[in-house]
Structure 1
Amino acid sequence: MIPEFLNEYKTQLEKYKLETIKISATPLENEETLQIFESKFLGKPYLPKDMEYPKNKENKPMTLWAQINFADVPLLESYPNQGILQFFVSPEWFDMDDYKVIFHDTISEEFQTDFSFLTEEIYEESPIYREHKLDFSKEIEYGSYADFRFDMNFNNQDFWNFQETFTDNQKEEVNEIIDGTGHKIGGYAYFTQADVRDYNQNLKQDLLLLQIDTDDEIMFGDSGVANFFINPEDLKNKRFEKAWFNWDCC
């Protein structure tokens, strides 16, 4: 909900309104693990028995950063309403050039259960330190100061300068609707540096597929954030292998 002190900008802000799926990530204790089909950060993936485990360019197993079972997720326009979406990234992930995004449209009851080959070594450089249970909620956003699409003018001021006029309580209220941070599917993206889409005309239509942010048991460099983006047509046609990965930090 738009705070009352922003009522004079309400009509303008409504033009920026987007739905998003916020993700609450709860780290598990050391010996805990989730079921194969469940949504998670880290952990063991769902893989049909006839599918090879994803490997990097050096033929080493990748790390499952995220698994989203859309049966758990509120409906979001253009995004799947069923199936399992997975984000595998090389243990050497810093260069953003070795990853795989895999979508299982249908779920088989014949799936792999032996992941003994996933040794501690492949997790040594992982930015996600523990397996996390994921919960989802649909929310409304009106912008993100880091997303290039949010270019609203506040009495000839950009958002950065305008927010300097807020009290601490007002800043908290605004951060509920104009922020972009956190784990999420869709909506506005967050960056610690700059929106990389703004520098490439071919990427300006691309949408946020998944964002994983720094958290209690997650750290990208120095308090950074990871984003996966996808072209709207590829999203519509479930060509998730065409998604691309970006991360940055302070």
Structure 2
Amino acid sequence: MMIPEFLKKYESELRKYEREVIRINAMPTKDLILEDSLGIKESKFLGKPFFPKDKEYPKDHNDKPLILIAQINFEEIPHLEHFPKDGILQLFLFSEDWYEDEYKIVYHSKEELIKESIEDFSFLTEKDYDESPIFKIHSLSFKKDIDRGASEDSQFDFSFGGLDYWEFTEALSEEDEEKLADYIDATGHKLGGYAEFTQSDPREYEIGKKEDIQLLQIDVDDEIMFGDSGVGHIFIDKENLIKKDFTKAYFYWDCC
């Protein structure tokens, strides 16, 4: 994308803030919610997860099975610095009050992917998906791209001549404000990159989390919505990401 003329004087400094990102193209399938035709190890939103029979399936505090929200097979994505090159990452949410922080983040290593997996998911019913923030099963494809910044991500602390993003927009015409929003755009489904928030960045207010990496972002789409036009995220500390230790990864979402 060409940089807008009014940003040219900041171009060299803005380039330093660029980050590689993996854009996710999420295509809803025609499958019924319990009739996932995608491969058990394929990347997807909703559907049947890969899960070894010798590993405990995620459950809530009442021992009720959680539902798969997202599955990312790292062998299917272009490589991103610090991210695994193999294995499967999964996000599970509570089938009813998912907004009450009842979630599980699971990683299956490359070695685990050869194990015998669960095939019978009859313990899940259509009713379990009534409150899901994702309404249809989606197939996923991936493309490497560049993120240039974000209006609410605390890690994008660029100064436009002493002004932050929002102060800078106040001095712009409506046309230039739209061009800025297009150029510095953190929206969309993606792995890595800057985060889009409808409110503010929670990492800014929690000790030790300011530099945490966005692992996954699930944005508003035709068949996806967290609350009222909300966005879902998984964050993780860089060292734990490098070690493939997802036990400290955490899910966050906000909405209007």
TM normalised by structure 2 equals: 0.91
1:225 aligns with 2:203: no
Distance 2:47 2:177 in 1: 36
Match of 1:247 among 214, 229, 253: 253
Distance 1:141 1:36 in 2: 31
Map of 1:145-160 to 2, 5 A cutoff?
A: 145-160=151-166
What is the deviation of 1:173? 4.6
Map of 1:171-250 to 2, 5 A cutoff?
A: 171=177, 173-250=179-256
Which amino acid in structure 1 is aligned with residue 52 of structure 2?
P
Identity of aligned residues (%): 50
Distance 1:149 1:94 in 2: 25
> Which residue does the alignment assign to 2:89?
85
Distance 2:53 2:39 in 1: 16
> Which residue does the alignment assign to 1:22?
23
Distance 1:246 1:17 in 2: 24
For the aligned residue pairs, the C-alpha RMSD in angstroms reads: 1.6
What is the deviation of 1:33? 2.7
Instruction: Decide whether aligned partners of structure 1 residues 158 and 13 sit closer, same or farther in structure 2, where only a CA change above 3 A counts.
Output: same
Instruction: Decide whether aligned partners of structure 1 residues 177 and 76 sit closer, same or farther in structure 2, where only a CA change above 3 A counts.
Output: farther
What is the deviation of 1:179? 1.7
TM normalised by structure 1 equals: 0.93
Q: How many residue pairs align between the two structures?
A: 248
Report SS of the residue matched to 1:10.
helix
Deviations along 1:53-112, one digit per CA (max 9) or x if unpaired, are: 21111100101010001111000000011111111111221122x211111112115222
8 Å contact kept, 1:146–1:180: no
Distance 1:150 1:240 in 2: 25
Map of 1:45-194 to 2, 5 A cutoff?
A: 45-91=49-95, 92-96=97-101, 98-106=102-110, 107-108=113-114, 110-164=116-170, 165-168=172-175, 170-171=176-177, 173-194=179-200
What is the deviation of 1:189? 0.6
Distance 1:67 1:176 in 2: 29
What is the deviation of 1:177? 4.0
Report SS of the residue matched to 1:151.
coil
